[in-house]
Amino acid sequence: MSVSVDPPEVIAAFRAGLDARWTFLSDAERAWLDRLGLRETPDTQTNPYAPTVFTLFPDRRIHRHYNGYWFWGRPTAEELRADFRAITRSIRDDWEVPDS
């Protein structure tokens, strides 16, 4: 899922350009900025979101949160793979191979 402060029509064009298959949400009014605790504190004029990455369960509960600052804050491909493995293991009854 991606969230942007762009209006829905801009997000739709961007999503189509990427041929993305995941959900894009618009928060053009920035209504969720404080509720999610994602306000970028140094910039008080343009009121931006802090770059953030979440891995989510299917019901949209947060599994893990990463700050998205530069290289050291973003999750690696291995961290994302491990997160998705943990999420899948917790929601799939058939994850473990059955005993014979």
pLDDT tens-place string over residues 22-60: 888 898 888 888 888 888 888 878 878 888 888 999 998
Residues 36 and 7 in one domain: yes
Sign of the dihedral defined by the CA atoms of residues 47, 58, 72, 21, in that order: negative
Question: Looking at the predicted structure, is the pLDDT value of residue 95 above 90?
Answer: no
Residues 8 and 29 in one domain: yes
Q: Are 74 and 66 in contact (CB under 8 A)?
A: yes
Specify the pairing of strand 52-56 against strand 24-26.
Answer: unpaired
- Asked if the structure places residue 99 within a domain, the reply is no
Work out the pLDDT band at 67, boundaries 50, 70, 90. confident
pLDDT at 87: 96
Residues 3 and 38 in one domain: yes
What is the pTM (predicted TM-score) of this model?
Answer: 0.68
